[in-house]
Structure 1
Amino acid sequence: MVTIASLMLLLTTWDLRGVILVSLALQIFLILFAPLRKRVSTAKITGFIWLAYLLADSAATYGVGLISKGFIISKSQGDTYGPFASPTLLAFWAPFLLVHLGGPDAITAFALEDNELWKRHLLDLVSQGVAVGYAFFQAFPDHKFWLPTLLMFVAGVIKYSERTHALYLASSDKFKDSLMTEPDPGPDYAKLMDELDPETEGGLQTKREWIPEASRIDKTGINKEDSHELSDLEIVQVAYNYFDTFKGLIADSLFSFRERDRSQHFFLKLKSSREVFKVVEVELNFFYDILYTKAMVLRNTFGCFWRILSFGLNCAAAWFFYSIEKKEIEKVDIRISYTLLLGAIALDLMAFAVVLYSDWIVVALTTSHHRNRFIRIMANLLNIKRERWPKNPENKPRCFIFGKIMQIVRFRWSESLSTYNFINYCLHPRAKWLKATTGIFGLNNLLDEMVHVKTVDFPHDLRDLIFEELKKKSEKANDLETAKEIFSARGDWILRSEKCSDLIRWINGVEFDESLIMWHIATDLCYYTPRLGETNLGNEDNKNYKEMSKLLSDYLLYLLTMQSTMLSTVVGIGQIRFRDTCAEAQKFFHGKEIGESQEKACKRILGVKTLVEPSAVRGYRSKSVLFDACILAKELKKLEEQKMWLIISKVWVELMCYAASHCRANNHMAQLSKGGQLLTLVWLLMAHLGIGDRFQISEGHARANVIVRK
């Protein structure tokens, strides 16, 4: 019969052993699945990774506490086992928990804010190191496993130090400091003025020449025929070069016109939008690695040395433990000890495999100035010229194991868009009592995301449209003033160029969040109420502007409602305006037998006569823009069908570009650990095409060269 006493004995016997094994299991889970954060945007997957990330530290810390407790009890019983392992094994197991606190290479920080907690981890390193060291010294003089314990202790300190150092290097202050150059005081102005002063004794004859800056690249001379399709290896190399140049974007650095022109020239001459997005994807992958993994620590010779030393210590500890007699140790504890040793070695081997097949090692092997025999052999063994984006998805890798590793390492971003639709949301309201109940626990947004947010694949046509529009803007941005004008446009630039100036008031005359909601509703009204005989419209390149307009419209509304931090600098009272508009729409739909049909709902809205401006009726009580959007839709429907969808799609691209360029850099970087966002790719691509406010040094800033003669 099972009694409470027997259960307590079982718990006391296995709590330490269980915690140690769970800690190891969490490390294995994280090293395998943490890279999925770059690819997967669903909360179901990221939620498990978040839970494992938190439990990994808690389990290791709790295990050190249990070892201290078990050591005291075992020591008080005269070195008898009791429910605990022997004191020597307690001291031997403790360093493994220090190794686990160091965490896997694949994840040092779950969120960007974790990097700012490096001081806390430094304190934990000291405190946990002292606790493990105390257990080690208390096991003397009968500590027969002292040598493997000492080796594992040193390995644990190295691993935890790596994590702390990685967090420190990725912290905002340190990262900004790393981008700082040596101060440039310029020429000695006071001394030069004294020499130029004719009243000065021994005055000198001078001649002043202006030495202009190096000439700019002529974008008009870009010849597509001179460019070639980039190989996958060249894409990684180019992406790293531009990452190294533009990594200051996340620290709000400024860039010279030389850097702008060089980048702009390269991206404009690429043959396809797919190549452009590949380069940006790999570049963002480098950003992810330096902010969320141990890449910054392991990318130099010093870091590689400590990693190799740590691995060697693990192997040596396993050998010495194997060679020591263990007859008096229980078999279950011996098995646990071997599991910990082999687990530590396996984790290091997995980390080595991921590093060897990462983009960092490709850069290291191809940019080395000393192309010796060893580097050439390694480049061939690792097949750095391998195909990273197979044209045929059914192509199977030659090596199954390394192929699976590459499938994980190759992950860039989710290549999907989350969408949220206003009409659909208004037609499916939750009961007031349910909304009030979930609101108490702050679950309304979570439930809305689960019910109303849909995820769709990123279409190739949309990628082409975005790049074509950005390319046109970049080619027109020949000077800093024009670049800033394009940077600040949010639909009005397109409307002027397409000679639709009468629609500009729906852009410039309202706030950004107001125009976003209005254009979203107007897009739906046009989408669900097609004209007689209308089909899916496309131009000569078979681009479906209607579907792309709908997709971008729903995507930006998703950002406004579910990812409001990304638009926090431009949306103002967007959440209030959205709720008020929803309230008016639900009030309007009530009792009209619309059901769940979006077509009927849109026809009902368009059927309302708009003789007076809605603002004159509602006054300042409500921020709703429902019938403002109705008027906008009616204005759009006056255009020819294909031109209407062409203009709507380009307005949405410009609205997205405005949102991307005005989103804070740290908010963009925060999305890299959540599957990424199209908005972030557009932001980085705009910077490479010279569209932005980060280029403050113009061509006209030349330096004077003063020639002094007797």
Structure 2
Amino acid sequence: MTADPVATFALGNIARSPGDSTGNNSSKSMELEAFWAPFLLLHLGGPDTITSYSREDNELWSRRLLEFLFQVVTAIYVFMRSLRKHPLSLLAIPMLITGILKYGERTLVLKLSSAKKLKDSLYPAPDPGPDILGRDTVLDMDTVTQMGTSTDLVPVRIEKSECSNPKDDYLASHFLFKRFRYLFADLVLGYHEQKESYDIIRIRSAAEAFKLVAIELGFMYDVLYTKATIVYSKFGILLRCIYLFSHIFVSVFFLIIIQKHAYPTIDVCITCVLLFGAVVLEIFSFIALVLFSDWSKLWWTKLKNAKRVSTSCCNCLLAINSKRWSRSMGQKNLISYCLERVSVRSFQNVFGINELWSLTWKDVNDDLQEFIFKQLLNKGKKIEEGGFTVELCKEFLAQRGDYALSERFCLDEFRWSTLDVEFDHSLLLWHIATDLCYYSDFNEDDPDNLHPKCKIISKYLSDYMLYLLIMCPNMLPKGFGEMRYRDTCAEAVRFFQKTVSRASHRSDKSSKIRKACRNILQVNTDSSLERKKGDKSKSVLFFGCRLAKQLQALEFEEDGMNNIEEKWEMISEFWVEMLAYAGSLCEWKEHGQQLRKGGELITHVSLLITHLGLSEKYQVRSRLGIWSAFFAEMLAVIIVIEIASSKEWLSVWLDCDSVSVVYCLLNPNYQPPWKLYVAGIIVALYHAMYQDTGFELLSRRLVKQLQALEVEDDGMNNIEEKWEMISEFWVEMLAYAGSRCEWKEHVQ
């Protein structure tokens, strides 16, 4: 991060140094210093593997453009000032050109990766639609049906032939990536995109699906934070070759031809280091470009399928492992953290050191991936069976633990801790309850007595969700989570200070937590708890204790059989639902921010949910395969008439609410086989199917309605009242937009 200011400072110092000097050594030293200026431009251009450290850097590309212009002018000034008839001036020319190109590449990539430019690049070309004023235009029913069932909502319809082998990881990942980038730009996709993505994911195992998503997010990371948009093209590869050969040529020329003894030794050493560093960086970038990049592996895969290169060579290159994300998830435990606050020194609490020290990390292992994927895939199959309808999709997305409880007929008993409270409230309640149940069921003599779902899934996901609440609150639904967490911690610390003895501080961590959980479970949490707590504090410590006691009561059925495994399976499914619910509501820009830190598990789960059809980002069609209520009613009328004709009925009663459909049936120009004229019903039909185009006609209809308000029944002109109504409408629109805008956007 200090490379840019250091290079800028050095370039400024070179520019400020005097252009001529009476001393011979000073003159020679100035020649070398002028030769360094292009190298500083190279360093300002940065490596190919990183261009920005956050999304905000991309949005500030215009500032980078000004810096680029200023630095280039400065470097050219230094070069022209020292331009003389000596070999170093000739060597500086190719370095200056490559430096300007590399620095310009970085500025261009920042612009292309900005949110607005990324979205603009994905927008389709403006489509005014057919000319509805052409009276001679006639559309038959086949054309209308194609219009009604069109799902070409994205600018580029990605044909499935591009993914000729859906089982190949790189081809499938790139195929899905082309869809994912539209969602990242807050655009929507159509039914076919939803179905094809689901077909690719459902045939894979959990490990394969997570690997697919990891490659896909790697593509997205490269687009946002590296020079991938330029590098992985024919022009980009050509530039890389030019950079490498020019650096090698200048280095060899300097080492062989330049008389180094004529220059100060320290300056020659610095020049050699700069040349060596430039060559090494270019070689490293070129190797990474060819061998270790997912983009290059995608390219090699396409060549292998086209049989243009040796299959064995491609397999060797594809076998090279590239680590795409950490495969780890942060862990934050409330009870453990509060116990540490009681025992550690006060200055650690003041400076927040204990808050960071309490964080741990766990691997996202195969068992956890398998359980998450299995639960998501089951919901995806139900969405597919239901025809990917909007209602079913929204129903599954709204589940945050209630589905796992309702499957075991205990939703009513636990509704107070799920649906009746906010998300962050429910998260803290179940986090505390999971911890209390975990250490209550944990047997010190037999540490392996618990079911793996308890140790791996329930406990790890519980701690991970609390980690997100504290360290990544923007990725979770908005609420008072941080305030509830602080109040709960304050109450827990006060409770432990009264109940935990000083002797227990010297015991091991596991024993200390187990004793603390036992003390919490001994607290009376009957119906009088609400009256004792009041509404002032938002602490949920003992409400979580009440929930834990309810969960423990589920262990014994009427026949006395211990069903502890079923209880922990329910808790595990609850946390997967909570994770999926949070992931589906998190904005994609927040997921993009986390990619620069190695990625989060919730981002991978969110993308899996989307590919399985569980997302509102799809323009989901109805069960009839059509887009509007009017078109559905129109087809229903057609079917009724066809049935009546086949049965030779003389009359049929149609209960139809659509004026347009009635007009179509009463139109004397109407003749089978349902040819619809633009002058009639096809205008309304077109607007019903394409609600995002043809606003001109709708605007004219609105203008006529507003003009009709000017004359009342008594003939009095009420134009002032009309304009007052329009003014109030726009004030309401402004207030609505302001209430929906986040405060951080207002601050920006």
TM-score (norm 1): 0.78
Structure 1 contact 537–642 (Cα < 8 Å) conserved: no
What is the aligned partner in structure 2 of residue 290 from structure 1?
223
Larger RCO: Structure 1 or Structure 2 (Cα < 8 Å, ≥ 6 residues apart)?
A: 1
Indicate whether 1:171 and 2:109 are aligned: no
Q: Which runs of 5+ in 2 are unaligned?
A: 152-164, 506-511, 556-563, 636-672, 678-748
Structure 1 contact 79–87 (Cα < 8 Å) conserved: no
**For 1:562, which of 471, 480, 483 is the aligned residue?**
471
**For 1:688, which of 588, 600, 611 is the aligned residue?**
611
What is the aligned partner in structure 1 of residue 25 from structure 2?
81
Structure 1 contact 546–645 (Cα < 8 Å) conserved: no
Residue 584 of structure 1: CA displacement? 1.4
Indicate whether 1:363 and 2:286 are aligned: no
**For 1:503, which of 414, 421, 425 is the aligned residue?**
414
Residue 562 of structure 1: CA displacement? 1.7
Structure 2 contact 59–111 (Cα < 8 Å) conserved: yes
What is the aligned partner in structure 1 of residue 709 from structure 2?
none
- Name the amino acid aligned to 2:228: A
Superposed, 1:33-72 pairs within 5 Å as: 54-72=1-19
**Structure 2 CA distance for aligned equivalents of residues 344 and 535 of structure 1:** 56
Structure 2 contact 240–286 (Cα < 8 Å) conserved: no
**For 1:210, which of 145, 152, 173 is the aligned residue?**
145
- Name the amino acid aligned to 2:363: D
**For 1:119, which of 48, 62, 65 is the aligned residue?**
62
What is the aligned partner in structure 2 of residue 317 from structure 1?
250
**Structure 2 CA distance for aligned equivalents of residues 674 and 148 of structure 1:** 40
Indicate whether 1:137 and 2:80 are aligned: yes
Structure 2 contact 325–599 (Cα < 8 Å) conserved: yes
- Name the amino acid aligned to 2:40: L
CA-to-aligned-CA distance 1:201-253 (integer Å, 9 cap, x gap): xxx999996346389xxxxxxxxxxxxx987xx21221111111221121111
**For 1:340, which of 269, 274, 278 is the aligned residue?**
274
**Against the structure 1 CA distance between its residues 85 and 69, is the aligned structure 2 distance closer, same or farther, given a 3 Å change threshold?**
farther
**Structure 2 CA distance for aligned equivalents of residues 387 and 310 of structure 1:** 26
Three-state SS of the structure 1 residue aligned to 2:329 is strand
Residue 425 of structure 1: CA displacement? 1.2
- Name the amino acid aligned to 1:315: I
- Name the amino acid aligned to 1:668: H
Indicate whether 1:661 and 2:612 are aligned: no
Q: Which moved more, 1:309-318 or 1:126-135?
A: 309-318
Structure 1 contact 88–143 (Cα < 8 Å) conserved: no
Q: Which runs of 5+ in 1 are unaligned?
A: 1-53, 197-203, 216-228, 389-405, 439-443
Structure 1 contact 98–128 (Cα < 8 Å) conserved: yes
**For 2:524, which of 600, 603, 609 is the aligned residue?**
609
**Structure 2 CA distance for aligned equivalents of residues 488 and 343 of structure 1:** 54
Residue 385 of structure 1: CA displacement? 5.4
**For 2:433, which of 522, 528, 536 is the aligned residue?**
522
Three-state SS of the structure 1 residue aligned to 2:361 is strand
**For 1:550, which of 459, 473, 498 is the aligned residue?**
459
Superposed, 1:340-489 pairs within 5 Å as: 340-357=274-291, 358-367=293-302, 371=306, 375-376=308-309, 381=313, 383-384=314-315, 386=317, 388=319, 406=320, 410-429=322-341, 434=347, 437-438=350-351, 444=352, 447-477=353-383, 478=386, 479-489=389-399
Structure 1 contact 85–333 (Cα < 8 Å) conserved: no
Residue 536 of structure 1: CA displacement? 4.9
Residue 368 of structure 1: CA displacement? 6.2
Indicate whether 1:186 and 2:129 are aligned: yes
Residue 449 of structure 1: CA displacement? 4.3
Three-state SS of the structure 2 residue aligned to 1:591 is helix
| Structure whose CA Rg is larger | 2
Structure 1 contact 566–668 (Cα < 8 Å) conserved: yes
Indicate whether 1:670 and 2:613 are aligned: no
What is the aligned partner in structure 1 of residue 682 from structure 2?
none
CA RMSD between the two structures: 3.1
- Name the amino acid aligned to 1:513: D
**Structure 2 CA distance for aligned equivalents of residues 608 and 437 of structure 1:** 30
- Name the amino acid aligned to 2:626: H
- Percent sequence identity over aligned pairs: 37
Q: Which moved more, 1:552-561 or 1:321-330?
A: 321-330
**Structure 2 CA distance for aligned equivalents of residues 173 and 239 of structure 1:** 25
Three-state SS of the structure 2 residue aligned to 1:590 is helix
Three-state SS of the structure 1 residue aligned to 2:188 is coil
What is the aligned partner in structure 2 of residue 403 from structure 1?
none
Residue 708 of structure 1: CA displacement? 6.3
**Structure 2 CA distance for aligned equivalents of residues 206 and 59 of structure 1:** 69
Superposed, 1:138-287 pairs within 5 Å as: 138-191=81-134, 210-211=145-146, 213=149, 234-270=168-204, 272-287=205-220
Three-state SS of the structure 2 residue aligned to 1:456 is strand
- Name the amino acid aligned to 1:300: S
- Name the amino acid aligned to 1:64: L
Structure 1 contact 417–457 (Cα < 8 Å) conserved: yes
Residue 318 of structure 1: CA displacement? 2.8
What is the aligned partner in structure 2 of residue 20 from structure 1?
none
**Against the structure 1 CA distance between its residues 65 and 290, is the aligned structure 2 distance closer, same or farther, given a 3 Å change threshold?**
same
**Structure 1 CA distance for aligned equivalents of residues 17 and 423 of structure 2:** 62
TM-score (norm 2): 0.74
What is the aligned partner in structure 1 of residue 734 from structure 2?
none
Residue 349 of structure 1: CA displacement? 1.0
**Structure 1 CA distance for aligned equivalents of residues 360 and 140 of structure 2:** 75
**Structure 2 CA distance for aligned equivalents of residues 497 and 626 of structure 1:** 27
**For 1:627, which of 531, 536, 542 is the aligned residue?**
542
Structure 2 contact 331–463 (Cα < 8 Å) conserved: yes
